[in-house]
């Protein structure tokens, strides 16, 4: 057993002996078996790992019933992006059974393997390539063929699996049904690293636009979300969050709710305060009425100067790349260009405020949770309740779309704490304000960009220095204090430790897109980047955030890409080059080059430098802009051309048309991918144009949909055109965070093209546009 | 607490509740209906929308005692998985959802509007939907589904 595996077991509360007893004697190195996938940054664990459900055993993933129905167990859940349908397609394809005969169980810690967190655009890479669920399904098919060979007395290579049976290739009447082969027994086999997946060319289910399996239930109100879970004897909880950041409980006057209808109990644990009542409305009213005396102070840095404040804080530094010759090159360059880009805290802002149901009874704990992290949440709940982890079961139950760590984890702790105290099943649904004031926001960024340009107009050195603020994050298996409930209940938030940057070592990793696509990414002898610029420095400073932060759809990648792709546009304009042609001149990666070219072609790109000549200085003007990225360096390739109108009287930007070209390798479900591109494009537009967390000297003030601005259904929606590049000779990559990453720069670049004005601060509000227009020479 | 009579999806109910309780809680907790949802509790997003006497009403800010004898229709009152209502079928045909949490808001608001304003043009639809949110930003497909329904189900 590897040290990692041993630590994983220990963390789960198992001794090695327990694990051996439960899983049989086969212990191999997890890393060598390829089951551990890479972990990028600190977004959370995505990999498949040891638990009481042994991920190396086929039976942990796939069960074939006597009637031929297939049940698949996965540790990657449906968050609204189509993973229920796509994973069902995968299993149906590899096992050659109709989709209707496959049932997928997602993230129930009693029966599903631990696949960490469903996030980071890692579900497709993890489960749709050679490992985990895909490997299990391929292993199962080969095992069934082998069983059939013995049963039919034919060599395995003369057999074919089709429609839930194995038959002779030459005489299809000689066949045996899966159900008859297995008869509901366990297959009792390890996953086979040599099991062959079906080549994409032979796919008939995977790769096709199978309609969403959950669509009709959702459209008719039959679908059960976590909000709809009802348990016998269930009570309802509400939480009383602090009135300001850093506030602590001085006293709680429980008498203030005595006699309020339906109130069962007031729960105080450290600074966690909650109420349990018979009915949800009673709980909410009682929570509003409960008199809590808080110690509080004005502690928050001023929002108006926050970006400058970030630069002055102690920081933990990291180089992504550092060729050490950048300053010399910049000094020797024919010209240099600098610019600073700013990106605010933004929120997940789920449509439904987060909800969970917990049942603490008879020495066990069951939590129905919309968490992305079933097993980590299981560990977190065990810590928060101080009970053994083996007694906790988390049953993933769908919630409102999360886009990263919304309130799903924290409300799971809320429900667990209140159920433990009340001795009844408790459902907690956060108020809108509880959700928005205390969630883990997306990181704010300050990014300084600097390049040197030679006499031919080519970039000879690129220097990026960024600051971003961070606090808490995903709780993982052992840090419940990384979200608000855990912190209030007394668990430490991961401490901030400043530190100097080490020189880059190992291989170039661009998981946060800290480096622009145009640098070569040379670390040691190898250049791992997608660009041509070899004089390169990318330094990132992490500073402490006053608010909780965490992964928000395209975390850091979006902010960094806004800066890099806007700046690339500035450089192209500086040397009077066409923005598409200039990008291609500095790109070495074929897949990234292709999405840039394909997006430009599909958009009917007008090849010329920006800004457009002849635009008037009044009225509405139109421009076009492009932006592109290799998401996380190699996890999906996307380019977007935006066509926008700018109303120079009001400063309003209206996106008219967004053309997206995307290459995420072999496509599991093209309609699902289009849905992700369309949603990502408009989510990105909303974040680019209006979304910004606001605060005063004590508290967050963007706490509802009047104070936090999202684009509603009725806004003037741009036409979205999607070019999907389907490749079957590469790994399948994530597709949920690609399009969103490039929107803000594409829009800003189009505004520049239309007006000659450069916007360097998100959101690109009418006020900022007008202010920039007023400064126009 | 007092006795409140309601007609929901054609069925009569008599409940002993505080008449100030927002209708949403009665529907989703007492009657255990899954269509109307809690989004914001402030009437800002539409997740809780039901149709009361033909009008789209935000049930999270509507006291149950104010509804009286009016007919209340929820998302599940329109159709079923096997027999979806034409507007639900339009959303299925367009695959117009991601997480689906806002579908109640979108479908109920659009249905009430189109029932009262047949054959709306695109701008009228956009205006009618201007107070409805979807945070997965499935806007494009949803508006396509609404237009499909407005045209009588044709693509």
- Distance (Å, rounded) from C-alpha A696 to C-alpha A556? 25
Collect all residues with Cβ–Cβ distance below 8 Å to A44 and sequence separation of at least 6.
A116, A117, A119, A120, A372, A373, A376, A473, A474, A476, A551
Return the pLDDT at A177: 97
Residue B21 phi/psi, 5° resolution?
-60, 130
DSSP strand pairing (A248-253 vs A165-168):
unpaired
pLDDT tens digit at each of 155 positions of chain B: 789 999 999 999 999 999 999 999 999 999 999 999 999 999 999 999 999 999 999 999 999 999 988 999 999 999 999 999 999 999 999 999 999 999 999 999 999 999 999 999 999 999 999 999 999 999 999 999 999 999 987 65
The residue among A67, A7, A63, A59 whose CA lies nearest residue A31 is A7
Residues of B in contact with A398 (CB under 8 A): 99
Q: Please tell me which of the candidates B92, B101, B128 has its beta carbon nearest to residue A401.
A: B101
Q: A278 — contact with chain B (CB < 8 Å)? A: no
Q: What is the pLDDT of residues B63-81, one digit of tens each?
A: 999 998 899 999 999 999 9
- Distance (Å, rounded) from C-alpha A709 to C-alpha A125? 33
For the question of an ipTM over 0.90, the answer is yes
Residue of B nearest to A429 (CA): B38
- Distance (Å, rounded) from C-alpha A580 to C-alpha A70? 49
Q: How distant, in Å, are the alpha carbons of A451, A453, A454, A463 from that of A334?
A: 11, 6, 5, 16
Q: Specify the 3-state DSSP secondary structure of A284.
A: helix
Residue A238 phi/psi, 5° resolution?
-140, 150
Q: How distant, in Å, are the alpha carbons of A254, A284, A483 from that of A430?
A: 21, 9, 14
Length of chain A: 777
Return the pLDDT at A777: 76
How many Cα atoms occupy the beta-carbon half-sphere of A268 within 13 Å? Answer: 15
The residue among B22, B53, B26, B50 whose CA lies nearest residue B36 is B50
Q: Please tell me which of the candidates B33, B98, B130 has its beta carbon nearest to residue A401.
A: B98
Q: What is the pLDDT of residues B88-112, one digit of tens each?
A: 999 999 999 999 999 999 999 999 9
Q: What is the pLDDT of residues A170-186, one digit of tens each?
A: 999 999 999 999 988 89
Residues of A in contact with B138 (CB under 8 A): 675, 678-679
Q: Specify the 3-state DSSP secondary structure of A373.
A: coil
Q: Are A23 and A55 in contact (CB under 8 A)?
A: no
Helix segments in chain B, DSSP class H? 23-25, 75-78, 86-94, 103-116, 122-128, 139-150
Q: Please tell me which of the candidates A215, A713, A716 has its beta carbon nearest to residue B134.
A: A713
Question: How far apart are the two ends of chain A, measured CA to CA in Å?
Answer: 68
The sign of the dihedral angle between the CA atoms of B74, B80, B85, B89 is positive
Length of chain B: 155
Q: Please tell me which of the candidates B22, B132, B137 has its beta carbon nearest to residue A683.
A: B137
Return the pLDDT at A410: 98
Q: How is residue A301 written in tokens?
A: 């840095």
Residue of B nearest to A716 (CA): B126
Helix segments in A517-616, DSSP class H? 557-574, 579-585, 590-603
Q: How large is the angle between the packed helices A670-689 and A557-574, nearest 10 degrees?
A: 70
Residue of B nearest to A216 (CA): B81
pTM over 0.90: yes
> Are residues B80 and A220, on separate chains, in Cβ contact within 8 Å?
yes
Q: Specify the 3-state DSSP secondary structure of B5.
A: strand
Residues of B in contact with A238 (CB under 8 A): none
> Are residues B139 and A227, on separate chains, in Cβ contact within 8 Å?
no
- Distance (Å, rounded) from C-alpha A752 to C-alpha A757? 5
User: What secondary structure, in 3-state letters, does A17-62 show?
Assistant: HHHHHHHCCCCCCHHHHCCCCCCCCCCCCCCCECCCCCCCEHHHCE
Q: Please tell me which of the candidates A227, A351, A714 has its beta carbon nearest to residue B128.
A: A714
The kind and range of the H/E element at A767 are: helix A766-774
- Distance (Å, rounded) from C-alpha A534 to C-alpha B107? 54
The sign of the dihedral angle between the CA atoms of A257, A258, A259, A265 is positive
Residues of A in contact with B133 (CB under 8 A): 351, 705, 710, 712-713
- Distance (Å, rounded) from C-alpha A277 to C-alpha A424? 11
Residues of B in contact with A228 (CB under 8 A): 28, 32, 34
The residue among B126, B120, B153, B123 whose CA lies nearest residue B139 is B126
Q: Specify the 3-state DSSP secondary structure of A519.
A: strand
Q: A553 — contact with chain B (CB < 8 Å)? A: no
Query: What percentage of residues in chain B have a pLDDT greater than 90?
Result: 95
Cβ neighbours around A651 below 10 Å, total: 18
Burial classification of residue A50, based on how many CB atoms lie within 10 Å of its CB (0-12 exposed, 13-18 middle, 19 or more buried):
buried
Collect all residues with Cβ–Cβ distance below 8 Å to A304 and sequence separation of at least 6.
none
Residues of B in contact with A675 (CB under 8 A): 95, 98, 138, 141
Check residue B27 and report its DSSP letter: I
Beginning with the edge strand found earlier in the chain, give each strand of the sheet holding A335-343 in spatial order: A316-322, A536-544, A459-470, A445-453, A335-343
Residues of B in contact with A686 (CB under 8 A): 137
Q: Specify the 3-state DSSP secondary structure of A318.
A: strand
Return the pLDDT at A184: 80
Give CA angle at A439 (B138, A636), nearest 5°.
50
Check residue A101 and report its DSSP letter: G
Q: DSSP letters along A531-551, please?
A: B-B-SEEEEEEEEE-SS-B--
Q: Specify the 3-state DSSP secondary structure of A775.
A: coil
Q: What is the pLDDT of residues A243-288, one digit of tens each?
A: 999 999 999 999 999 999 999 999 999 999 999 999 999 999 999 9
Collect all residues with Cβ–Cβ distance below 8 Å to A61 and sequence separation of at least 6.
A55, A72, A73, A74, A113, A132, A133, A136, A137, A140, A191
- Distance (Å, rounded) from C-alpha A316 to C-alpha A744? 27
Number of CB pairs < 8 Å for A and B? 192
Which of A221, A673, A681 has the highest number of chain B CBs within 10 A, making it the mutation to test binding with B? A221
- Distance (Å, rounded) from C-alpha A91 to C-alpha A97? 8
Q: B43 — contact with chain A (CB < 8 Å)? A: no
Return the pLDDT at B154: 64
Q: Which residues in chain A land under pLDDT 70?
A: 1-44
Q: Are A204 and A193 in contact (CB under 8 A)?
A: no
- Distance (Å, rounded) from C-alpha B46 to C-alpha B61? 11
Q: DSSP letters along A637-650, please?
A: EEEEEEEEEEETTT
> Are residues B78 and A432, on separate chains, in Cβ contact within 8 Å?
no
Q: How distant, in Å, are the alpha carbons of A92, A125, A738 from that of A727?
A: 21, 14, 16
Residues of B in contact with A683 (CB under 8 A): 135-137
Residues of B in contact with A716 (CB under 8 A): 126
Q: DSSP letters along A211-280, please?
A: PPTTHHHHHTT----GGG---TT-EEEEE---SSTT-EEEEEEGGGGTT-TTEEEEEEETTEEEEEESSH
Collect all residues with Cβ–Cβ distance below 8 Å to A26 and sequence separation of at least 6.
A56, A190
Can you point out the beta strands (E) in A296-404? 316-322, 335-343, 355-361, 364-369, 392-396
Which of B43, B136, B144 has the highest number of chain A CBs within 10 A, making it the mutation to test binding with A? B136
DSSP strand pairing (A316-322 vs A536-544):
antiparallel
Return the pLDDT at A11: 43
């Amino acid at each position: 057993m590897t040290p990692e595996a041993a630590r994983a077991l220990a963390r789960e509360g198992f001794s090695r002996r327990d694990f051996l007893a439960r899983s049989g004697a086969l212990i191999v190195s997890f890393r060598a078996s390829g089951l551990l996938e890479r972990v990028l940054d600190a977004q959370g664990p995505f990999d498949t790992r040891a638990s009481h459900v042994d991920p190396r055993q086929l039976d942990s993933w796939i069960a074939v019933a006597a009637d031929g129905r297939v049940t698949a167990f996965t540790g990657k859940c449906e968050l609204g992006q189509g993973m229920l349908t796509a994973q069902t397609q995968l299993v149906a394809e590899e096992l050659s059974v109709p989709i209707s005969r496959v049932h997928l169980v997602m993230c129930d810690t009693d029966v599903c393997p631990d696949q960490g967190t469903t996030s980071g655009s890692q579900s497709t890479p993890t489960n749709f390539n050679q490992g985990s669920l895909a490997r299990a399904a391929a292993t199962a098919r080969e095992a069934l063929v082998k069983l059939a060979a013995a049963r039919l007395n034919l060599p395995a290579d003369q057999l074919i699996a089709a429609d839930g049976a194995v038959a002779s290739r030459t005489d299809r009447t000689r066949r045996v049904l899966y159900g008859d082969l297995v008869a509901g027994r366990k297959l009792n086999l390890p996953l086979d690293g040599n099991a062959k997946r079906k080549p994409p060319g032979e796919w008939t289910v995977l790769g096709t636009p199978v309609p969403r399996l959950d669509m009709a239930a959702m459209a008719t109100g039959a679908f059960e979300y976590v909000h709809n879970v009802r348990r016998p004897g269930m009570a309802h909880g509400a939480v009383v969050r602090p009135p300001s950041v850093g506030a602590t409980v001085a006293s709680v006057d429980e008498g203030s709710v005595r006699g309020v209808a339906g109130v069962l109990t007031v729960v105080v644990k450290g600074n966690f305060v909650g109420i349990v009542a018979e009915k949800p409305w009673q709980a909410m009213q009682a929570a509003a009425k409960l008199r809590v005396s808080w110690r509080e102070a004005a502690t928050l840095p001023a929002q108006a100067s926050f970006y400058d404040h970030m630069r002055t804080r102690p920081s933990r530094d990291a180089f992504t790349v550092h060729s050490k010759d950048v300053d010399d090159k910049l000094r020797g360059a024919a010209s240099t260009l600098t610019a600073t880009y700013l990106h605010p805290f933004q929120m997940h802002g789920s449509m439904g405020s987060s909800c969970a149901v917990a049942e603490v009874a008879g020495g066990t704990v069951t939590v129905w949770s919309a968490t992305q992290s079933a097993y980590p949440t299981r560990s977190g709940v065990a810590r928060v309740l101080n009970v053994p982890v083996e007694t906790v079961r988390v049953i993933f139950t769908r919630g409102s779309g999360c886009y990263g760590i919304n309130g799903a984890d924290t409300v799971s702790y809320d429900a667990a704490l209140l159920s433990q105290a009340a001795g009844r099943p408790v459902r907690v649904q956060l108020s809108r304000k509880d959700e928005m004031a205390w969630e883990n926001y997306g990181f704010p960024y300050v990014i300084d960009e600097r390049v040197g340009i030679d006499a031919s107009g080519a970039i000879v050195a690129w220097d990026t220095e960024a600051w971003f603020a961070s606090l808490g994050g995903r709780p993982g298996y052992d840090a419940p204090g990384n979200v608000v409930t855990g912190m209030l209940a007394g668990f430490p938030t991961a401490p901030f430790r400043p530190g100097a940057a080490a020189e880059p070592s190992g291989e170039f990793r661009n998981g946060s897109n800290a480096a622009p696509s145009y640098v070569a990414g040379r670390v040691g002898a190898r250049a791992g980047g997608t660009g041509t610029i070899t004089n390169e420095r990318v330094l990132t400073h992490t500073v402490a955030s006053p608010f909780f932060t965490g992964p928000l759809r395209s975390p850091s990648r979006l902010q960094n890409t806004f800066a890099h792709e806007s700046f690339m546009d500035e450089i192209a304009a500086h040397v009077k080059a066409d923005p598409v042609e200039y990008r291609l001149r500095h790109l070495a990666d074929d897949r990234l080059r292709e999405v840039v070219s394909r997006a430009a072609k599909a958009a009917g790109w007008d090849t010329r430098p920006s800004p457009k000549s002849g635009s008037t200085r009044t009225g509405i003007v139109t421009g076009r802009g492009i932006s592109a990225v290799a998401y996380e360096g190699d996890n999906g390739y996307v380019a977007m051309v935006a066509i926008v109108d700018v109303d120079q009287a009001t400063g309003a930007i209206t996106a008219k048309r967004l053309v997206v070209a995307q290459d995420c390798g072999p496509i599991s479900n093209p309609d699902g991918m289009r849905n992700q591109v369309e949603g990502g494009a408009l989510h990105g537009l909303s974040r680019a144009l209006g979304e910004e967390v606001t605060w005063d000297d004590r508290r967050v003030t963007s706490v509802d949909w009047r104070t936090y601005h999202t684009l509603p259904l009725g806004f003037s929606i741009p036409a979205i055109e999607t070019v999907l590049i389907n490749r079957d000779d590469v790994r399948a990559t994530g597709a949920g965070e690609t399009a969103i990453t490039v929107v803000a720069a594409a829009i800003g670049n189009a505004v520049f093209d239309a007006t000659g004005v450069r916007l360097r601060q998100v959101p690109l509000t009418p006020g900022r546009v007008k202010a920039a227009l007023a400064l126009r020479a | 607490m007092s006795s409140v009579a309601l007609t929901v999806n054609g069925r009569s109910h008599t409940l002993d509740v505080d008449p100030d309780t927002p209708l949403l809680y009665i529907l989703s907790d007492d009657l255990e209906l899954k269509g109307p949802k809690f989004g914001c509790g402030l009437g800002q997003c539409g997740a809780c929308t039901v149709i009361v006497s033909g009008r789209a009403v935000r049930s999270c800010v509507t006291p149950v005692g104010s509804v009286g004898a009016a007919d209340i229709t929820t998302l599940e009152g329109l159709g079923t998985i096997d027999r979806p209502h034409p507007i639900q079928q339009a959303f299925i045909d367009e695959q117009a959802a991601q997480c689906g949490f806002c579908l109640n808001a979108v479908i109920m608001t659009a249905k009430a509007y189109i029932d009262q304003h047949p054959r709306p043009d695109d701008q009228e639809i956009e205006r009618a939907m201007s107070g409805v949110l979807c945070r997965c930003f499935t806007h494009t497909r949803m508006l396509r589904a609404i237009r499909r329904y407005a045209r009588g189900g044709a693509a």
